Amino acid sequence: MLEDVLVAPSVLSADFARLGEDLKSIETADYVHFDVMDGHFVPNLTFGPDVLRAIKATTDVPVDAHLMISNPDEMTRLYVEAGADMVSFHLEATNHAHRIVSYLRESGVRPAVAINPATPVCMLDSIIEDVDMVLVMTVNPGFGGQKFIPSSVAKVAKVRALAKEHGVSPMIEVDGGVSEQNAGQICAAGANVIVAGSAVFKKDDRGAAIRAIKDAGQLGLAKRA
């Protein structure tokens, strides 16, 4: 597993009227987390590929595009062409996970797979060897600012155990209700990429918020068995 904790602020919590300024305020982040919602797979509607293209023109921070959409087989290409550095698609939304992963690799984009809170970790068995990251949703997707689901800690540990069983070490990302307060516990369980929305963008000093989450996560990582 990685020895560093990475932080990916979610632009879902940014001020859309000042997006350029907000992106500059998180330039010390490891990734920009870009939440794509289609109003069908999740009950909300957010960004399209043109917004991603604008973000790529504004910041040098790599973009992790999280596709919370019902048709990733058809739509992934648009986000690759818009410049995504990594794409997370939901396992629940496709019957062709390996096809998407192959396309992403051929396109020079890092492939990642996401699972919802109700999806069992065993569903990852056939794909975990092929992806660079597993995204564990720690809230039900669709809206920012939700409370972290406590059972997610055990789920992260199960993903880590499955990866070890398969002899691979993908990044494990958590998304939803994560902050400086629980980052240590989550990273101790196996996560090493933290998506933080409100915990970063609702702070006056975003750089300090990123550092605080990363430091808390590193303390947790040091406690791993």
Has 40 been labeled as part of a binding site?
A: no
Has 35 been labeled as part of a binding site?
A: yes
Catalytic residue among 30, 35, 64, 132: 35
The Cα–Cα gap between 178 and 124 comes to: 23
Has 207 been labeled as part of a binding site?
A: no
Has 143 been labeled as part of a binding site?
A: yes
Please confirm, yes or no, whether 15 is among the known catalytic residues.
no
Please confirm, yes or no, whether 35 is among the known catalytic residues.
yes
DSSP state of 17: G
Has 10 been labeled as part of a binding site?
A: yes
Catalytic residue among 22, 38, 132, 175: 175
Element at 135 (helix H, strand E)? strand 133-137
Amino acid at 148: F
Has 66 been labeled as part of a binding site?
A: yes
- Enzyme catalytic residues: 35, 175
Question: Which residues are part of a known binding site?
Answer: 10, 33, 35, 66, 142-145, 175-177, 197-198
Question: Which residues are part of a known binding site for a divalent metal cation?
Answer: 33, 35, 66, 175
Question: Which residues are part of a known binding site for substrate?
Answer: 10, 66, 142-145, 175-177, 197-198
